[in-house]
């Protein structure tokens, strides 16, 4: 079977985004905690961020006019792929310390893998990212591996 992943696409493995600075606010923690129906008071007060709080925090806040027709942001760290529909794939996290209001974090993504599989309704392309979250001083806060699926 002919692979959907060309040499040009494969060449994206190893590319990284510029680090994104992220300031953690109590209000953002509370918003996230209410939206995810947390029950732990420390999250609802915004004293500490829930473990999944940083999901998508590396995304720049793009203008509505700059979004794709499907509503997804234009990600500069995605090669042009023959499959356009996007699904979440999964995440692995390692936690080094709690995230609290006032933290100034640095978030950087790298592509560590691009591969394809046959799904029940057709081919799927997986892009695997490593996401390193540190303090401004370089102290590790969290490491994430995130999988994005195109179908």
Partner 1 sequence: MATHAANSSIGDALPERIHCPTNVSLFLYNAAVWNAHRIHYDERYTIDVERHPAVVIDGPLQGDWLTQVVDEWLGDAGRMVEFEYSNRLAAMLDETLTAGGKVVSIEGDSVVLELFVRNEVGKVITPGRAVVALD
To 5 degrees, how large is the angle CA 150–CA 119–CA 148?
Answer: 25
Number of residues in contact with partner 1, rule: CB under 8 A? Answer: 37
CA 92, 97, 73, 130 dihedral sign is negative
CB of 26 to partner 1, least distance (A): 14
Provide the b/e sequence for 77-89 (b: ≥16 CB within 10 Å). bbbebeeeebeee
Query: Cα–Cα distance between 76 and 20 in angstroms, integer?
Result: 13
Q: Is 74 in the site for partner 1 (CB under 8 A)?
A: no
Q: Is 104 in contact with 136 (CB distance < 8 Å)?
A: yes
Per-residue x/- marks for partner 1, 18-37, CB under 8 A?
----------x--xx-xxxx
Show contacts with partner 1 in window 106-145 (CB under 8 A). Answer: none
- Cβ proximity to partner 1: between 81 and 147 the closer is 147
- Write down the residue that tokens 């509503």 correspond to: 71
Q: Is 91 in the site for partner 1 (CB under 8 A)?
A: yes
Q: Is 44 in the site for partner 1 (CB under 8 A)?
A: no
- Cβ proximity to partner 1: between 10 and 26 the closer is 26
Query: Cα–Cα distance between 35 and 64 in angstroms, integer?
Result: 22
- Cβ proximity to partner 1: between 55 and 115 the closer is 55
Which residues of the chain form contacts with partner 1 (CB under 8 A)?
Answer: 28, 31-32, 34-41, 50-52, 55-56, 59, 61, 64, 67, 70-73, 85-95, 98, 147
């Amino acid at each position: 079977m002919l692979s959907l992943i060309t040499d040009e696409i494969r060449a994206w493995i190893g590319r990284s985004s510029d680090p994104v600075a992220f300031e953690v606010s109590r209000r953002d923690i509370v918003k996230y905690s209410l939206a995810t129906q947390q029950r732990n008071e420390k999250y609802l007060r915004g004293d500490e961020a829930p473990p999944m709080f940083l999901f998508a925090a590396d995304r720049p806040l793009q203008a509505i006019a700059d979004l794709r027709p499907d509503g997804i942001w234009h990600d500069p760290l995605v090669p042009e792929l023959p499959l356009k529909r996007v699904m979440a794939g999964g995440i692995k996290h390692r936690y080094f310390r709690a995230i609290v209001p006032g933290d100034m974090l640095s978030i950087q993504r790298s592509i560590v893998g691009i591969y394809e599989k046959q799904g029940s309704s057709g081919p799927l392309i997986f892009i695997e990212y490593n996401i390193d979250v540190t303090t401004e001083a370089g102290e590790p806060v969290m490491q994430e591996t995130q999988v994005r699926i195109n179908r």
